[in-house]
Amino acid sequence: MRISLIGDNMKHRVNMLVLAGSVVVLSVSMLFWCGCGLFGVFFTPTPREKIIPAEYDLSEQIESRFLVLVKQPGWLPIKANMRYYLTRHLNGELTRRIEIPTENLVSYQQLKAFRSRRPDFAYLSLEQIGSQFKVDFILVVTISKFELLEMSQENYHRGYMSSQCSLYDAKTGAKLWPDSSIGKNIMVGFEIEEKGQRAAIERLSNRTAYCTVRYLYDCQKGNFKIADDRSGENWIGWDNEKRIGDFK
């Protein structure tokens, strides 16, 4: 009787092992039947991790030298020196996002000093400016619209700025980016900035820099669009508000 019980237990264990093995085989088979679907769930990039390819990739040019040239038309209602703010933020984004060393970027102070020595600066070609600083690329940013609107509550502002950006070969003057005949249209704006005029200026400059540089490296899809980005929208600005052209 005892021998019979032992035999039954052994059969039960063998049956359990066979069942467990069948489950493993079935599970593996299902993975392959689904085209490794479960593996795809674990290894497929999430929407945020997907990459938007660069329109012109500078990631292989980090040893090159760059100059940011900001054009601020005199007819715009701006008394802030946007050349300074935009140059500083664009240089910062080129270093932060593409890892271009700061020593390979012409600072605003360097460009300002050269501009002050050349009364004919506005008539110099990109090749002439590039030769002066021995750079390989020039990123030209032209401000086309600027609004800084004071709200009823003290230090609260709304802001908007649009600009056209283009990348050039500094040695030949050839346009490298974008492919269109005009520059890349960058528009940024926000409903409320509560920390005053200077913070509003910094914010507009920073967002413009971010939205420009994102086209020059492989950017994660989740990081491509930011809250203040107005590019591609039919933005008309804010009417019937007090406009501020002055900046303290």
Q: Is residue 239 helix, strand or coil?
A: coil
CA–CA separation, 184 vs 165, rounded Å?
A: 5
4 has pLDDT over 60: no
CA–CA separation, 182 vs 49, rounded Å?
A: 31
Q: Where are the domains of the chain?
A: 2-43, 51-243
pTM of this structure:
0.77
Q: Which two tokens stand for residue 121?
A: 């600066």
The fold adopted by the segment(s) 51-243 is Rossmann fold (3.40.50)
pLDDT given at position 92 = 98
Tens of pLDDT, residues 168-226: 999 999 999 999 889 999 999 999 999 999 999 999 999 999 999 999 999 999 999 99
